[in-house]
């Protein structure tokens, strides 16, 4: 198992730094096959007729188009988990939280209940100084190499 920080889900939330952790299974983990999927590579818009909502008018034509596209095989996360931190959170604390979230999520995945995932209590705020500090920290989170940080963090604590 492993986790990645998904920067599309990171942001400021009521004065805190919100981080999205995507948790993935390894080939020998329970349920791996359900999250190891083959999907079409859609590089351009559907060329057929669509309705005012953008949905295909002819489902059979759309299905034929989809089946004609090249495919890739990839791993989808088995859990996407969000956690909020104070703006002074360190990269190492984020990595540590990711490891804790991974263990918690996998345990609950084995029990068939990801709804049991939980977070520590936090205190939201409307304090503009804290909001600005969180916005600044989020930008750093989005550019940090957490795989490298995790490797360094693991070596230092062996």
**Paired sense of beta strands 16-24 and 79-85, if any:** antiparallel
Nearest of 80, 111, 114 to residue 5 by alpha carbon: 80
Task: Name the H helices within 13-127.
Answer: 32-35, 59-68, 91-110
pTM assigned to the model: 0.84
Looking up tokens 């940090």, which residue turns up? 144
Distance from C-alpha of 96 to C-alpha of 157, rounded to nearest angstrom:
11
**pLDDT tens profile 76-123:** 999 999 999 999 999 999 999 999 999 999 999 999 999 999 999 999
**pLDDT tens profile 70-81:** 999 999 999 999
């Amino acid at each position: 198992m492993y986790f990645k920080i998904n920067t599309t889900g990171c942001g400021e939330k009521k004065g805190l730094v919100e981080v999205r952790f995507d948790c993935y299974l390894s080939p020998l983990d329970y349920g791996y096959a359900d999250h190891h999927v083959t999907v079409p590579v859609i590089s351009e818009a559907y060329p057929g007729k669509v309705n005012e909502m953008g949905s295909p008018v002819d489902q059979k034509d759309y299905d034929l188009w989809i089946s004609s596209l090249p495919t890739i095989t990839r791993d989808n996360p088995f859990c996407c988990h969000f956690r909020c931190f104070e703006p002074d959170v360190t990269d190492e604390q984020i990595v540590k939280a990711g490891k804790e979230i991974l263990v918690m999520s996998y345990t609950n995945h084995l029990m068939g209940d990801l709804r049991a995932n939980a977070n520590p209590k936090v205190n939201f705020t409307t304090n503009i100084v804290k909001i600005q500090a969180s916005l600044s920290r989020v930008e750093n989170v989005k550019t940090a190499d957490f795989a490298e940080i995790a490797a360094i963090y693991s070596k230092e604590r062996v």
